[in-house]
Amino acid sequence: MQAGKYESSNGSAGTAVTFLLIGLGVGAALGLLLAPKAGRQLRKDLRRSYGDARDTVSEWTDEAKERFADVVEKSSDFADEVRSKGQPLSDLLRRR
């Protein structure tokens, strides 16, 4: 019998969070559907839960967009800095 090596997946934390949110949503929906409530109260709860989830996802999306914009800006600044520091070396190598 051959023992295998443990290899971590290359998935990101975003994937794990996505599956967590899907699981929470399905669990919450099933809990609401199986709870002994009147139809009107259940629909009201579902609307409220849907609105809360939509607001939360919207906030997370906005935050992700802001973080992505920050990363793009920082990487652009870093690339400009590297380019400016490497220019004298590039000029020197071209002269030879």
Banded pLDDT at 72 (limits 50, 70, 90): very high
In a domain, 4, yes or no: no
Question: What is the arithmetic mean of pLDDT over 53-81?
Answer: 90
* CA gap 18, 32 in Å, rounded: 21
In a domain, 20, yes or no: yes
Any alpha helices (H) in 1-96, and if so which ranges?
A: 13-34, 39-95
37 against 8, higher pLDDT? 37
In a domain, 75, yes or no: yes
Banded pLDDT at 5 (limits 50, 70, 90): low
* CA gap 21, 25 in Å, rounded: 6
* CA gap 88, 35 in Å, rounded: 71
Given a cut of 50, whether residue 26 has pLDDT beyond it is: yes
* Predicted TM-score of the model (pTM): 0.45
Number of structural domains found in the chain: 1
In a domain, 85, yes or no: yes
